[in-house]
Amino acid sequence: MLNVAELCSFTSYFVLCSAESNRQLEAIWREILDTVKSKGILPHHREGTSQSGWMLADFGSVIVHVMSLPEWDYYRLDKLWAGAPSVVRIQ
C-alpha cells in the first residue's frame, strides 16, 4: 500500500497486489471485494478481468490494483510511484 496523496489528485492510496496465476488473481480479487462489501463499502468503479491480467477497483480514496506477474513486471507501478511512502509492504 502506497500513500500517493502528495503525488496525485485523484486518490490517497494505491494497494498493489501481484498474483502468480489467473486463478490466484481471481481469488485475491474476490477476497478483497467480499471483505470490503461486508463492511458496507462498494467500489465506485471496477475494470479488468483475470484473463486480462490486471483488475482494478476504485474506492475513491483507495484504488486497488491486482496484477498478474507479467503485467506487474511490464507496468512496474511500484517503480512509477516510487516517490510515494510505503504504508504496508508484504512480500
Q: Under CATH, domain 2-80 is a member of which superfamily?
A: Beta Polymerase, domain 2 (3.30.460.10)
Query: Which pLDDT does position 9 carry in this prediction?
Result: 94
pLDDT digits (tens, 9 = 90+) for 29-85: 999 999 999 999 999 999 999 999 999 999 999 999 999 999 999 999 999 999 999
Helix (H) / strand (E) containing 16: strand 13-19
Residue 14's pLDDT band (cuts 50, 70, 90):
very high
Under a CB-based contact definition with an 8 Å cutoff, are residues 57 and 49 in contact?
no
Q: What is the pTM of this model?
A: 0.91
Query: Which pLDDT does position 51 carry in this prediction?
Result: 92
